[in-house]
Structure 1
């Protein structure tokens, strides 16, 4: 809504001037081009790993499952700085090249770097969507195909892939949408010369002092994403077949490939961490320097690093509480209507269509006098609501809650039923959803950079500024630590959510 209020205040001449300009056509064309290339490469790279994930249940399969957390929970700033540490001119990869007697190569600040970053970030989506679809295929169908003499490749091409075509389309559309709206990958790995619509929104609003242009670009991108969301929704509806037990089959090629895939995904994360805790130039560990950073006020931040961390934790916690409350309320109300799931899908689609940069620009344009912390919390709520709503509604709608009727007949008040029965019953669901929202909020970068870059920098923005100053190693260490902690917390919370719920306490 704030976006359209901001758009309504623009003159038609300004709108047409922006849309008809050569720079807009160039930026829009590049946005589509890099998204198409990134989607194609991510699908190709992720496909063999998805097949292995679907046909195995060992340690490697579990590692692939954890890797699927990267696109959704690993902070984009941590990913970008990890790539700088590993693939930069003086990064781990080029240092190994130099040690082997080979010339260093320029990887970053190019289209190739943007594509590489997008493949890293989005290939796990193929495992999550396509791999799970393949895993749920009825084993008797695959066994029958094997008995009929079909080899692995023929069975895959003629039996399995046709059955999961909706999942293929869904994963491709989802990856395309993420690449289309990419911010940190393009801004940090590619640079301003490879600006997409999302990056251009930030540049026009903060660097070029052209907020009207930023609003026009935001509306154009919103329309694009809404169309993508509708296509994704349609592809999800058409994906229906009878699920069966997992069909297990050893494949040496996909096994070796999947180990290489795991290395590709985790080297930028772990490499940045292990290459940053020791300063080889000064021959000293950097832990003392990091402790000092937390203890003093930094001019480039306008505050202390500890304050940015406390602020981010506080805002993320508030966003988690509010978002989960809203998602649970909407999901609970949807239980009583036949069209509840459809309404929830519409809410999620609208929220998904608004990127952090779009939200930040519209908030500052319409609610510019509001406190920045409030705007940040609102931004975190909107961007995390679809994820929380999707998970909570899946647990709430259709749940067997006959005990509530019995408690009502026994005279238990509504408050007592909520506090002593509903909340304990869905405790694991609530905890996991809150953890996910907290993780998304802590790692959010694009919107936070626009909203609070001057007066209220978040921890992710602080890391970005440290990376652009003389605190390069410290930024690498902090970004890697932040990413690893978030992934670990989400994984542990997911394990907790999958445990059986405890018995419900009796009402007083």
Structure 2
């Protein structure tokens, strides 16, 4: 694609500004953390070597780095014993990858039927439901952890319901299934979002042609629909794997000591000030996640195509003929609705119910009154809820102002074409695959503590540091929404406007911008909600009550037992966070719907 949508001056300046922000806020701070893995006095990469040689981290694979000659013999002996899986220890990295793979599969199993329902059926509230599908993905991790504790804890809603019928209690928390279900709660909507668009873009004429040539409905689906869905499905699965691999608060809160992952162990090393070991883990984790992200971008580039000219299949009414049992698909939709309701609505409803239920089971507003009392308190260290809400909204607006232009610039780089465009996009989208803990720690050690620049000590603290971290975390999601739309613009449309006398600027405003307006607003909704829910770097960068956000306030209330042993204060604050996040995302997404073609 040529540059019909970028001015010769505007684009280079925007690209330079984007690179400057990334260097200052991301590459330099993260580089400082990763450089701690280099030991100039001894072996250059001693911390990394220590990790690779430790069976705790890499399991049986440590033989590859400690005694490579023993590997073939060990494999042969293992095969001679019948290849018992129990004899293979995969270590911390292996378990992290294992739980991420299970979580990705669970996300597909839960998200794919939802894509089918949204793409093929029409019903009241469908558009709002489409907007809400992505809300779980952008909810603060600490909020999801509290919701799962409120539902699956020993005194949670699930065990309360089981006690009514004389069953239970059951222990779900601190098990691998709890982690997998929580990750599916997060990533299944991502699968739904990706695949729904692809399913809606399947050309109805191709299906009709296959049926006219004698193909059965099953074969037409296999030969026509599946190839159209597969690229989006694989892309979403890979992203779900990456996000589950890098998950931190979910595993920390729901996994317990026996189910720790690389990210949790990295946080523990930072907490204990073992920064050299943390740097070694950070390097290996970043290499793995960046490699996977590069593969995702390369794969995605091969399947992005314009859907213009396609005749989408008309949606069927979900309720038409509901009383008949001749169509088993409706029963399957009903069964899926029950499962999805338990997984998605269960933790949310448990959070809301716990926030208005006292220890004796009676309705109470004491937890919300507790929040109001905190708002009026002048005690040192007190987090005022309304102040946290205000900060989150202001930080999110600031994030939009920075992340949206950056995301568009990166999309332009990705759609320019050429052999290096994928690599350039991967480098510019690196924040998507780097731990938020690493980013926050890097900013803390550099900009917050101060950096010498031409004899002056430059420091960036408070709201500016938080907005910078949020913008870097959010702009890749703008890019992921805008890039397919830019790639699908037919150059001839813009050329026609230019041939009729339109300047570059006018062609940009009257042709290109309307064509990408809807995905641009969708990307902005992502950026806004991600800023509101960002926790990992914010908890390190927030200074006092002046820059605390809602997730930070929620984390403080999780351990608060000032008015009893329940999760009440945390669930009350969580309910506020949920309401603000959902309302903000739906409003922005619905506004973007005005631009849908």
* 2:188 aligned with 1:123: yes
2-structure distance, mates of 1:390, 1:368: 30
> Hey, what does 1:211 align to over in structure 2?
275
Asked if the contact 1:297–1:303 (Cα under 8 Å) also holds between the matched residues in 2, the reply is no
> Hey, what does 2:53 align to over in structure 1?
20
2-structure distance, mates of 1:3, 1:302: 31
Flag the 1:154–1:28 CA change in 2: closer, same or farther, 3 A: same
Flag the 1:329–1:114 CA change in 2: closer, same or farther, 3 A: closer
Shift of 1:358: 2.1
Shift of 1:13: 2.4
Asked if the contact 1:52–1:61 (Cα under 8 Å) also holds between the matched residues in 2, the reply is no
* 2:435 aligned with 1:355: yes
Flag the 1:396–1:150 CA change in 2: closer, same or farther, 3 A: closer
> Hey, what does 2:555 align to over in structure 1?
464
Among 264, 276, 285, the alignment partner of 1:221 is 285
2-structure distance, mates of 1:44, 1:54: 16
Deviates more, 1:193-202 or 1:247-256: 247-256
1-structure distance, mates of 2:466, 2:182: 26
> Hey, what does 1:38 align to over in structure 2?
103
Deviations 1:461-505, CA, capped at 9 Å, x for gaps: 22012112216212112213312321222122112122149xxxx
Asked if the contact 2:485–2:515 (Cα under 8 Å) also holds between the matched residues in 1, the reply is no
Flag the 1:400–1:270 CA change in 2: closer, same or farther, 3 A: farther
> Hey, what does 2:82 align to over in structure 1?
none
Deviations 1:251-277, CA, capped at 9 Å, x for gaps: 313421342244131222233113312
SS at match of 1:104: coil
Q: How many corresponding residue pairs?
A: 493
Deviations 1:216-255, CA, capped at 9 Å, x for gaps: 2222111111111122112212326764312545731342
Shift of 1:430: 6.9
SS at match of 1:358: helix
| Map 1:64-75 → 2, pairs under 5 A | 65-75=130-140
Root mean square deviation of aligned Cα? 3.6
Deviations 1:170-195, CA, capped at 9 Å, x for gaps: 12111111111111211111134322
* 2:371 aligned with 1:290: yes
Asked if the contact 2:153–2:173 (Cα under 8 Å) also holds between the matched residues in 1, the reply is yes
| Map 1:217-366 → 2, pairs under 5 A | 217-239=281-303, 243-248=310-315, 251-263=329-341, 264-279=343-358, 281=360, 284-286=364-366, 287-297=368-378, 301-328=381-408, 345-366=425-446
2-structure distance, mates of 1:153, 1:93: 39
Deviates more, 1:279-288 or 1:210-219: 279-288
Flag the 1:37–1:333 CA change in 2: closer, same or farther, 3 A: closer
Asked if the contact 1:297–1:305 (Cα under 8 Å) also holds between the matched residues in 2, the reply is no
Deviates more, 1:286-295 or 1:399-408: 399-408
> Hey, what does 2:533 align to over in structure 1?
443
Asked if the contact 1:73–1:487 (Cα under 8 Å) also holds between the matched residues in 2, the reply is no
Structure 1: state its 5+ residue gaps: 502-508
1-structure distance, mates of 2:296, 2:244: 15
Asked if the contact 1:348–1:385 (Cα under 8 Å) also holds between the matched residues in 2, the reply is no
SS at match of 1:318: helix
Flag the 1:143–1:334 CA change in 2: closer, same or farther, 3 A: closer
TM-score, normalised to structure 2, is 0.73
SS at match of 1:59: coil
Deviations 1:101-128, CA, capped at 9 Å, x for gaps: 1021011111111011012111222222
2-structure distance, mates of 1:330, 1:145: 39
1-structure distance, mates of 2:499, 2:146: 50
| Map 1:150-161 → 2, pairs under 5 A | 150-161=215-226
* 2:28 aligned with 1:7: no
1-structure distance, mates of 2:503, 2:109: 55
Flag the 1:140–1:334 CA change in 2: closer, same or farther, 3 A: closer
| Map 1:180-191 → 2, pairs under 5 A | 180-191=245-256
Shift of 1:457: 4.1
Structure 2: state its 5+ residue gaps: 1-26, 40-44, 59-90, 319-328, 450-458
* 2:574 aligned with 1:484: no
2-structure distance, mates of 1:277, 1:4: 46
SS at match of 1:279: coil
Asked if the contact 1:351–1:386 (Cα under 8 Å) also holds between the matched residues in 2, the reply is yes
TM-score, normalised to structure 1, is 0.84
Deviations 1:383-424, CA, capped at 9 Å, x for gaps: 101112344566678585959996879xxxx9x999999999
2-structure distance, mates of 1:406, 1:293: 62
Asked if the contact 2:529–2:585 (Cα under 8 Å) also holds between the matched residues in 1, the reply is yes
Shift of 1:156: 3.2
